[in-house]
Amino acid sequence: MRLTFYLGAECWDRRRPRLLVGIMINPSKLLRRTLLLIVLGVAYTAQAQNSNKSIGGKEHEDNILGVKIGMTVSEALQNVFVNAHRQPGQEKPDAMRHEGPDKKDIRVLYDNLKIGKLQILFSQGQWVKEIVLDYSERPLYDELRLAPTGNIGDALAGQRYDDRYAIAFTEESAAKRQRIWYRDEKTELGFRERLQFISAKKPDDGSVESKQIVRKVIAVLPADEEMFLKAMAQR
């Protein structure tokens, strides 16, 4: 927001060429008005800076236990060890397996963390490209301010929702169907990452379980994996 301060409106009276016609401003009033404009400018700036933050809390941040897309193996494991309050001797994950066509990707599993089961997938065994958390204490979608549907009626009902998310469903039968909330964001390195929340099965049956979020996923978009690898190699 650009603030411009005008101290007076000036013009020359043609009948009196030397007479300057202006608006007289009381200095104390000017100071108060100036301070008010500064306060409003600061408030506007703070609001703009927070516009990309979710009203649903920290669960919407693009990390899990401090682990973010693009981290190295040592960075990711260190964050889990510290932020999950692991004890000496628990520095390593509980399990590991190789994935991908050439088996170069490595997925590690933490099975008994307080927040739930955590998986981290390292592209070519070097950089985090996917993080998956299966919640032990499942939040409800309205607690995260996730809209139940994309219908305009949800917004008109008086609830405030995080409008950054699109909504989709898995293609299974009604008994196995799950709702997915997702948003895509471009990173500073150019590739896109997707953050998504996945509901329990049968999300429309009205039960408490149907309103639960069972999983959070952060991952590089498949279409951007080549860009991701190039960005990682150039760091």
Tens-place pLDDT, residues 100-147? 999 999 999 999 899 999 999 999 999 999 999 999 999 999 999 999
Q: Measured over all CA atoms, what is the biggest interatomic distance in the chain, rounded to whole angstroms?
A: 92
- Binned at pLDDT 50, 70 and 90, residue 175 comes out as confident
CA 141 → CA 131, 138, 181, distances in Å? 20, 9, 10
At residue 78, the 3 state secondary structure works out as helix
In this structure, the answer to whether residues 93 and 208 fall within a common structural domain is yes
What pLDDT, in 10s, does the model give residues 178-234? 999 999 999 999 999 999 999 999 888 888 888 999 999 999 999 999 999 999 999
Q: What would the two tokens of residue 20 be?
A: 């300057």
Residue 155 in any domain: the answer is yes
In this structure, the answer to whether residues 35 and 134 fall within a common structural domain is no
In this structure, the answer to whether residues 117 and 172 fall within a common structural domain is yes
Residue 69 in any domain: the answer is yes
In this structure, the answer to whether residues 147 and 179 fall within a common structural domain is yes
Contact between residue 127 and residue 234 where contact means Cβ atoms under 8 Å apart: no
Domain count, the chain: 2
Structure letter (DSSP) for residue 126: T
Rounded CA separation 97/113 (Å): 19
Residue 2 in any domain: the answer is no
In this structure, the answer to whether residues 86 and 129 fall within a common structural domain is yes
Residue 148 in any domain: the answer is yes
In this structure, the answer to whether residues 179 and 215 fall within a common structural domain is yes
Instruction: Taking residues 32-59, report their average pLDDT.
Output: 55
* Residue carrying the six token digits 């401090």: 66
What is the overall mean pLDDT for the chain? 81
CA 197 → CA 92, 109, 163, 169, 202, distances in Å? 27, 19, 14, 11, 15
State the residue range of the domain holding 183: 58-233
pLDDT > 90? residue 156: no
